[in-house]
Structure 1
Amino acid sequence: MPNNEWGWDDESSSDMIVKDCNWTILANWDTVAAIKDLKVKWWADIKRWDKFKNIRLTDNAEEIESWKMVLRTEFFKKV
């Protein structure tokens, strides 16, 4: 049940803490790098140290979004 007149709860996703593989806190518009090679279906593979700029946080604390891909935070570290 919504807690306010706009229809969302007071606990927003901005209160959520998102951390990378080294437990460093991530924020919107940060840059992260891959810590290992990752296979991606229907896309070019992600190589170690590939950088992703201007990430966005999602509703899930274990995922970040970059361009059109959703990435798992356990495979990335803040640059």
Structure 2
Amino acid sequence: HRDQLNWAFGRCTITALGPFNARRSAELILWELRLVIDFPRAATILLPSAVITHSNTLIHSDDSRSSFTL
């Protein structure tokens, strides 16, 4: 998704939370950049969320994932 209500030149902070294995699930996808990133618990990224489509891969059934955004 894109956060279309955010300022296009601003940056959104995303932090991954929860007990999950980032190598088997819950990777961060940045579609326009064609990147799939291992995004372990407590990892933080700054991105222009209004202009970069971003999503997560499905999580494994044994995992739990949350995120904090600002």
Instruction: Say whether the fold is shared (TM-score over 0.5).
Output: no
Report the TM-score, using the length of structure 2 for normalisation: 0.38
**Structure 1 or 2: more strand by fraction:** 2
Greater Rg over alpha carbons, structure? 1
**Structure 1 or 2: more helix by fraction:** 1
Considering Cα pairs closer than 8 Å and 6+ residues apart, tell me whether 1 or 2 has the greater RCO. Answer: 2
